[in-house]
């Protein structure tokens, strides 16, 4: 009987460790992780995935045992790596670095204890932008923030799992906004570029810790 009681206590503790917040409660979750980003669209030729960092926090409210809402503010390094061939022999490597403050509003649906599917809408504010090219071993800046729109809308979808207040989160942000401007300045020269239709495509992986309020 004693063994059965100990087993029941251990099982209950394990289930509680993987449980989501109680209904009607607030929580805050600092988090840090990495991005794997790219630029996609009809003018994204030569773009390859780029790895960056992410840092931020989300506040959550649990509506009922199955559904919760969260609102966040996350600094994310995005953009892409690029390889272009100027001639048959000359290859230019570069990176487009787009740094955003992203604010995701998500609905979280718990399908089992601790495991949630999530989706919503994300507003991104472009903080800094730079396009760099490596020419003969020298890094040259070939474009800045004025080449990109200031606001970026995304649809984030993903899932998270929580264990003892530790939360592992993986999501994919589907870019809705055409980022490139047709008129901008490169190295002091005004440029008109009709072929500048690209969108963000970003995977976000984070580890966070939930604090109940």
The DSSP code sequence of 145-184 is GGGB-SEEEEEEEEEEEEETTEEEEEEEEEE-S--B-SEE
Q: What does the pLDDT average to over 87-93?
A: 63
CA atoms within 13 A on the CB side of 4: 1
What pLDDT score was predicted for residue 203? 98
Residue 63: strand, helix, or coil: coil
For residue 8, is pLDDT > 50?
A: no
Give the DSSP letter of residue 109. Answer: E
Look up the CATH number of the domain holding residue 156: 2.40.160.20
Reported pTM = 0.84
- Total domains in the chain come to 1
For residue 96, is pLDDT > 60?
A: yes
As a whole number, the mean pLDDT across the chain is 85
Q: What does the pLDDT average to over 150-171?
A: 97
What pLDDT score was predicted for residue 44? 84
For residue 106, is pLDDT > 90?
A: yes
Give me the domain span that covers residue 152: 2-212
Q: What percent of the chain has pLDDT over 90?
A: 61
Residue-wise pLDDT tens digits, 176-210: 999 987 776 665 667 666 667 899 999 999 999 99
What pLDDT score was predicted for residue 59? 98
Per-residue pLDDT band for 9 (boundaries 50, 70, 90) equals very low
For residue 111, is pLDDT > 50?
A: yes
What pLDDT score was predicted for residue 118? 98
CA atoms within 13 A on the CB side of 185: 5
Residue-wise pLDDT tens digits, 10-69: 433 444 444 567 888 999 999 999 999 999 998 888 889 999 999 999 999 999 999 999
What pLDDT score was predicted for residue 142? 66
What pLDDT score was predicted for residue 1? 45
């Amino acid at each position: 009987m004693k063994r059965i009681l100990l087993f029941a206590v251990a099982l209950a503790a394990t289930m509680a460790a993987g449980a989501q917040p109680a209904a009607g409660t607030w929580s805050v979750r600092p988090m840090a992780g990495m991005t794997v980003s790219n630029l996609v669209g009809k003018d994204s030729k030569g773009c390859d995935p780029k790895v960056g960092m992410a840092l931020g926090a989300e506040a959550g409210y649990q509506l009922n045992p199955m559904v919760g809402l969260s609102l966040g503010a996350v600094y994310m390094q995005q953009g892409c790596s690029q390889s272009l061939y100027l001639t048959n022999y000359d290859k230019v490597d570069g990176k487009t670095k787009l740094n955003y403050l992203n604010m995701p509003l998500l609905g979280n649906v718990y399908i089992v204890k601790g495991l949630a599917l999530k989706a919503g809408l994300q507003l991104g504010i472009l903080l800094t932008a730079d396009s760099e090219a490596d020419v003969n071993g020298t890094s040259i800046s070939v474009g800045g923030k004025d080449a990109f729109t200031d606001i970026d809308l995304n649809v984030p979808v993903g899932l998270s799992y929580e264990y003892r207040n530790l939360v592992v989160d993986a999501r994919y942000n589907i870019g809705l906004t055409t980022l490139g401007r047709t008129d901008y300045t490169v190295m002091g020269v005004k440029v008109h570029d009709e072929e500048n239709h690209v969108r963000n495509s970003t995977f976000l992986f984070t580890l966070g810790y939930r604090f109940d309020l």
